[in-house]
Amino acid sequence: MNAGVKRLSRYRRHRYAAPALLITALISLGATFQVASALPNSSRMESTPKSTLIEEGARIFAQGCSSCHGLNAEGAGIAPSLIGVGAASVDFQVGTGRMPMADMSQQAMRKDPIYNEEETAALAAYVASLAPGPAAINEAQLTYERDGNTAEGGELFRTNCAMCHNFAGQGGALTQGKYAPTVMGVEAKHIYEAMITGPQSMPVFSDKTITPEEKLSILKWIKSAESEPNLGGASLGRTGPVTEGLLVWTLGLGLLIGIAVWLTAKAR
């Protein structure tokens, strides 16, 4: 060992060594941070992908959502706070095109989504970063084909959902112009997210009320109802007896009366 090293090791045991090291470390850290944040935007790629996603989300949010939800998603008079609603809610609302809301009607309507998948994910990440909440679902998590039970799902749907969404998931009216939309043709992950976030007048179905396995069964039932052929002929909208009554007065009795008129018409 040479003398220099020895001297260093002697300083190491000096009683000011620890505080001095700490200060040096802090200063250098601060200096690095200063330099890093002073760098132009292009070099942001070097930081973690997660935080960029959040920032990207924050940027989109400021442009597209803050006018209603407030600059920091804290909510404003016209729209609720999004703090703590979680990525699932954003993924559902933006993914089904409900948000950004087009007009302040009774209920945000489903429409073609305005943001693509990455932008939606960014918005979700941003809102999730504000406070913890239910995470967004990706399709791979939804193993309903394997783990669901159609019949059980049907029972659960009729018990929990049919009072608003109709027995065949065709949707129905609620009071004051609100309505439960059809659940046919909705992406599986959005159905799942609707259950865990409870958009608007829809209740939240926590994992205690409906377990994750049961939710998968509901998904499986909805998907099987979607593709079920109309076993009895034309479905008449699967809405029950009203359309049947209309048909019988028009086509049924109408046709019979038409024939009666024809049979009794005088030959000319």
Partner 1 sequence: MKKVERIGVNVAGYVDDRTGAAKWLRKNLTKVFPDHWSFMLGEIVLYSFIILLLSGTFLTFWFDPSQREVVYDGSYEPLQDIKMSAAYASALHISFDVRGGLLMRQIHHWAALIFMAGMIAHLMRVFFTGAFRKPREANWLIGVGLVTLGIVEGFLGYSLPDDLLSGTGIRIAEAIIQALPVVGSYLAFFAFGGAFPGEAFIPRIFTVHVLLLPAIFLALITIHLMLVWYQKHTQYPGPGRTEKNVVGYPLMPIYMAKAGGFFFIVFGVTAFLGAVASINPIWLYGPYNPGQVTAGSQPDFYMGWLDGLVRMAPPLETAAFGYTISWNILIPGLIIPGILFTLMALYPFIESWMTGDKREHHLLERPRNNPNRTAIGAMSLSFILVVLINGGNDLIATHFSLTINQIMWFTRIGVIVIPPMVFVITKRICLSLQRADREKVLHGRETGRLVMLPHGEFVEVHEELSAAEKFTLTQHEQPMALQVPNSDANGVLNPQGLKGKLRARLSQAHVEQVSAPSASEAKELESGHH
CA neighbor of 207 nearest in space, from 198, 218, 195: 195
- Work out which of 52, 59, 62, 68 binds ligand HEC, going by CB under 6 A: 68
What does the alpha-carbon distance between residue 77 and residue 58 come to, in Å, rounded to a whole number?
Answer: 20
* Phi, psi at 81, each rounded to 5°: -70, 145
> Are 82 and 75 a contacting pair, CB within 8 Å?
yes
Under rule CB under 6 A, residue 194 binds ligand HEC:
yes
CA quadruple 160, 163, 164, 165: dihedral sign: positive
Give least dist CB 157 to ligand HEC, A. Answer: 6
- Work out which of 54, 180, 188, 191 binds partner 1, going by CB under 8 A: 180
Tokens of 72: 């920091």
In the shown chain, the binding pattern of residues 198 to 227 toward ligand HEC, with x for contact by CB under 6 A and - for none, equals -xxxxx-x------------x---------
Tokens of 112: 């073609």
Within 98-157, the residues that bind ligand HEC by CB under 6 A are: 98-101, 104, 107-108, 110, 123
Tokens of 125: 């990440």
| Chain residues that interact with ligand HEC, rule: CB under 6 A | 64-65, 67-69, 78-80, 82, 85, 89-90, 93-94, 96, 98-101, 104, 107-108, 110, 123, 160-161, 163-165, 174, 178, 180-181, 183, 186, 190-191, 194-195, 197, 199-203, 205, 218
